[in-house]
């Protein structure tokens, strides 16, 4: 959550009036002051994650429902998708390596080592 909190704080420096909604796995999360504002406006439950971090959120499948509620309350928001995260960049890099693999000139050992390295990288992304 610290990376997400840092991203949130950097975005708030650029536009403190906008509510930032972050895609985290199968949920969208809203942090700190934005979470308080959204909780008051549309009734999402707040969760205290520590001394300087609170959140509220909703499932990815309900994005349209909640963005419509935010619009109805005239709240300015921005959805920060997973494509802006380093996880997406790392996954894209792994996919590119798989695409570039020359299967006609790869030994069994090279293939095993390649898969082993990809497995380790994928485990580190989570």
The CATH number given to whatever domain includes residue 53 is 3.40.1170.10
Q: Are residues 94 and 41 in the same domain?
A: no
C-alpha R_g of the chain = 19
- Amino acid 88: pLDDT: 57
Domain count, the chain: 2
- Say what the pLDDT of residue 36 is: 95
Instruction: Indicate whether 15 and 65 sit together in one domain.
Output: yes
Query: Which residues constitute the domain of residue 44?
Result: 2-82
**Shared-domain flag, residues 12 and 68:** yes
Digits of tens for pLDDT over the chain (126 positions)?
Answer: 578 888 999 999 999 999 999 998 899 999 999 999 999 999 999 999 888 899 999 999 999 999 999 999 999 999 998 544 455 556 777 888 888 888 899 899 999 999 988 888 777 765
pTM over 0.85, yes/no? no
Same structural domain, 57 and 38 = yes
Residue 48 CA to residue 31 CA, distance in Å, equals 10
For residues 52 and 69, state if they share a domain.
yes
In whole angstroms, what separates CA 8 from the centre of its chain? 11
């Amino acid at each position: 959550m610290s990376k997400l909190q840092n991203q949130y704080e950097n975005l708030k420096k650029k536009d403190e009036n906008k509510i930032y909604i972050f895609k985290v796995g199968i949920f969208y999360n809203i942090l700190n002051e934005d979470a308080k504002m959204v909780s008051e406006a549309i009734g999402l439950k707040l969760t205290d994650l520590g001394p300087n971090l609170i959140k509220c959120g909703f499932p990815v499948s309900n994005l349209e429902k909640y963005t419509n509620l935010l619009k109805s309350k005239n709240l300015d928001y921005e959805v920060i998708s997973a494509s802006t995260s380093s996880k997406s960049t790392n996954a894209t890099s792994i996919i590119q390596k798989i695409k570039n693999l020359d299967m006609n000139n790869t030994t069994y050992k090279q293939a095993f080592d390649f898969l082993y390295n990809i497995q380790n990288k994928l485990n580190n992304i989570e």
